[in-house]
Amino acid sequence: MENSCHEIPENANEHCPGPQSESAGKSDACEGCPNQQICATAPKGPDPDLVAIVERMATVKHKILVLSGKGGVGKSTFSAQLSFALASKDYQVGLLDIDICGPSIPKMLGLEGQDIHQSNLGWSPIYLDDNLGVMSIGFMLPHPDEAVIWRGPRKNGLIKQFLKDVHWGELDYLVVDAPPGTSDEHISIVQFLQATEIDGAVIVTTPQQVSLIDVRKEISFCKKVGIRVIGVVENMSGLRQFVTDLKFEKRAAGEGGGAVEDVTEWAHNYLRENAPEILSLFACSEVFDRSGGGAEKMCVEMGVPFLGKVPLDPQLCRAAEEGRSCFEDHKCRLSAPALLKIVEGIVFSHEK
Question: Is 317 annotated as a binding-site member?
Answer: no
Question: Is 76 annotated as a binding-site member?
Answer: yes
CB atoms within 10 A of CB 249: 10
Question: Is 72 annotated as a binding-site member?
Answer: yes
* Identity of residue 212: L
Question: Is 101 annotated as a binding-site member?
Answer: no
**Alpha-carbon gap, residue 79 to 175, rounded angstroms:** 7
| Burial track 60-83 (b if 16+ CB lie within 10 A, e otherwise) | bebbbbbbbbbeebbbbbbbbbbb
Sign of CA dihedral 11, 13, 19, 25: negative
Question: Is 39 annotated as a binding-site member?
Answer: yes
The three-state DSSP-derived secondary structure of 67-107 is EECCCCCCHHHHHHHHHHHHHHCCCCEEEEECCCCCCCHHH
Question: Is 304 annotated as a binding-site member?
Answer: no
Question: Is 30 annotated as a binding-site member?
Answer: yes
Question: Is 73 annotated as a binding-site member?
Answer: yes
Question: Is 88 annotated as a binding-site member?
Answer: no
Strand partners, 306: 232
Question: Is 33 annotated as a binding-site member?
Answer: yes
Residues annotated within a binding site for ATP:
69-76
Residues annotated within a binding site:
16, 30, 33, 39, 69-76
Residues annotated within a binding site for [4Fe-4S] cluster:
16, 30, 33, 39
